[in-house]
Amino acid sequence: MKKLLLFFLCLIPLLSVAQAPSIEGDTMLCPYTNGTATITNDTEYDTYQWYYKYWFLNDDYVAIDGATQASFTYDWYTYDQSLFKVVVTLDGQTYESNTIQIDSYAWTGLIISTQTSDDVTFNPDNQAYYICDESTITSSTQSPYTVVQWYKNDVAIEGATNTSYTITEAGTYHVVAAPEFCPNSASTSLPIVVMDNPECTTVDPTPVIAGDTMLCPYTDGTATVTNNIEYDTYQWYYKFWFTDDEFVAIDGANEASFTYDWYTYDQSLFKVLVTLDGETYESNTIQIDSYNWAGLLVSTQTSDDVTFNPDNQAYYICNESTITSAVQSPYTVVQWYKNDVAIEGATDISYTITEAGTYYVVAAPDFCPNSTSTSLPIVVMDNPECITADPTPVIAGDTMLCPYTDGTAMITNDMEYDTYQWYYKYWFTDDEFIAIDGATEASFTYDWYTYDQSLFKVVVTLDGETYESNTIQIDSYNWAGISFGMTFSDDVVPNDENFTWMICDESTITCELNSPYDSSIQWYKDGVAIEGANDATYVITEPGSYYVEAAPEYCSNSISDTSETPVVVTMNPDCSLGINDPIANNQVTLYPNPTSNILNITLPDNNTVTDYWILDVTGKTLLKGAFPNSNSIDVSSLSNGTYILKLTGGNSQTAHMFIRK
């Protein structure tokens, strides 16, 4: 009896340990991403509460509002440098998990090193390299940037994805790169301008043209002079290659390039005549053609139990029936549809139908992917002779809505009921479902605001019987206000008097939109849209008042802008003094950023920093003092917002943005 009692006493702590939760999660996060922590053991507990604290503080753990499930999703900046744990209950007992520490990647700015052959010269006035025929300029990204794409004249260079690239011809080059551990966190280098050196080459004045020689239907092409010579005059000519007619001058085509449509100039030869210093030169010719192909054909193969009704042009299927439809060559860019809705993942040239509905395909050749054609519909119905249809209604609808938009829920099975009544309730309450006034059709259209966080269902009647559908949950997208970060070249300084940024001739202010604003982007200068400025990053190089408008890709019509807080840039009258030598600007790191109280600063070795200033975005000084030996500044007295930290020492200074949350 004593041995048995001792056995059970030893077993009790083993059972307690077995019931304690064990957690794992994403402990290293890239900027603007989320991670998830979860309980890994297979025990289902009665309750869950997640807690956090910052590892470098002696504060107690704090319960995270709403984090009451077996897993918890967190963002990269709110919980940076946090410890997580979860406290659970089971059968009246409380258990505490292990802890995990959350961190985020940080790295220096994109630096490009350049090595040149002996015959390359650099002109500091226009910041350009001058090369001869055999010259080489080898540019390399520095660690940790290993995910790389090099560009020439804003076009990606095919195959140029190594950390180094050797330039051998004139053009404007740059690189877009990211660390391997955060491949989506890309940065763009400053341009490398390369020009032909007139002192070592003799340029042939004969114009050379190239252009779009194969055009898709209803598209335009452009022919252009490719050699880097600006001629005095230009005149483009054409003729049809299959005639003996003379070339004809094209009215109005008197620029270095000429844009033409696919139809008018199909089967034409183009050339250009130019003049330079009183001499006339004639270019090579290029021939223009357009793609042509047969109409969209779809072949169909059916299993033995499929029948076709020629009266209504419909296929009738049973439970195990299959209808395999395939598009014919040259159609390879494909999307199959069912009931006018794109079928997710159905992008192969063939698709197998197994259930009733109306199907069709939209397809195009890969050489003209925008020249799509739509097939005739394939109508598929359930065969009443081999199946009994389930009368229960099945509903689907738009479950994620953008602000100020509507969605529609509908019955998806092909049955017409006698009556319909739609119901809703909010998923987070225990209330009963409520009938929606007037929602008595097979579909129901709802707005994003009224029914946000609702569950929908429909109750129908058929032949005196009542049936209830499945439920769907409605949600709406939500995101932070539009903002962008700014990176300054070393010679940019804030003007505290008129709240502007002052620049020199070679200054740059790189503005980069914060997530999730990645669509409908347009940068403005002095209230006017900047042509071609539609990327998330824009580099300011001249005075003006700048702002941006953009939207998330998933709600591209929900556009916001920063016009109320523009970036105002003026020229610095003191540029010639040359005092704005940076303190290793690209080696200064602020963390955590955003911060709620303490801002830590990492400086390079042998720095000369002696003082600091904290300015708001208007240039007003809020805090200043001698730079502390601890390399930490208390910013808890600041209101939530964006600020500028300016560091000075000797004749050097640097400025960095941070966020007080």
207 has a pLDDT exceeding 80: yes
Q: Which of 24-28, 166-170, 195-199 has the lowest mean pLDDT?
A: 195-199
What pLDDT was estimated at residue 8?
42
33 has a pLDDT exceeding 90: yes
Answer CATH for 23-104 from 2.60.40, 2.30.140, 1.10.357, 1.10.3470: 2.60.40
Phi-psi region of 559 (alpha: psi -120 to 50; beta: other; left: phi over 0): beta
Give the CATH number of domain 298-382.
2.60.40.10
Give the CATH number of domain 209-290.
2.60.40
578 has a pLDDT exceeding 60: no
What pLDDT was estimated at residue 7?
42
Residue with tokens 């032949």: 463
9 has a pLDDT exceeding 50: no
What pLDDT was estimated at residue 621?
83
Strand pairing report for 475-476 and 82-90: unpaired
- Residue 11: pLDDT band by 50, 70, 90 thresholds? very low
pTM: 0.32
What pLDDT was estimated at residue 202?
64
What pLDDT was estimated at residue 410?
96
Q: What is the mean pLDDT of the chain?
A: 90
604 has a pLDDT exceeding 50: yes
Average pLDDT over residues 394-410: 94
408 has a pLDDT exceeding 90: yes
Average pLDDT over residues 78-106: 94
513 has a pLDDT exceeding 80: yes
340 has a pLDDT exceeding 90: yes
Average pLDDT over residues 128-151: 93
Instruction: Tell me the C-alpha distance between 588 and 595, whole Å.
Output: 16
Instruction: Tell me the C-alpha distance between 385 and 592, whole Å.
Output: 69
Domains 23-104 and 209-290 alike in fold: yes
Q: Is the dihedral of CA 506, 512, 518, 522 positive or negative?
A: negative
Average pLDDT over residues 408-429: 93
Average pLDDT over residues 489-514: 87
Distances (CA, A) of 462 to 146, 172, 345, 388, 409: 64, 71, 35, 15, 20
| DSSP sequence for 565-613 | S-EEEEE-TTGGG---B-SSGGG-EEESSSBSSEEEEE--TT----EEE
The CATH class of the 395-476 domain is mainly beta
What are the boundaries of each domain within the chain?
23-104, 112-196, 209-290, 298-382, 395-476, 484-571, 589-660
Contact 81, 105 (CB under 8 A): no
| DSSP sequence for 470-496 | --EE-EE---PPP-EEEEE-TT-EEET
Give the CATH number of domain 112-196.
2.60.40.10
16 has a pLDDT exceeding 50: no
Fold of 589-660: Immunoglobulin-like (2.60.40)
- Residue 2: pLDDT band by 50, 70, 90 thresholds? very low
Share of residues in the chain with pLDDT > 90 (%): 72
What pLDDT was estimated at residue 292?
86
- Residue 235: pLDDT band by 50, 70, 90 thresholds? very high
- Residue 337: pLDDT band by 50, 70, 90 thresholds? very high
Instruction: Tell me the C-alpha distance between 224 and 284, whole Å.
Output: 12
What pLDDT was estimated at residue 18?
54
Fold of 484-571: Immunoglobulin-like (2.60.40)
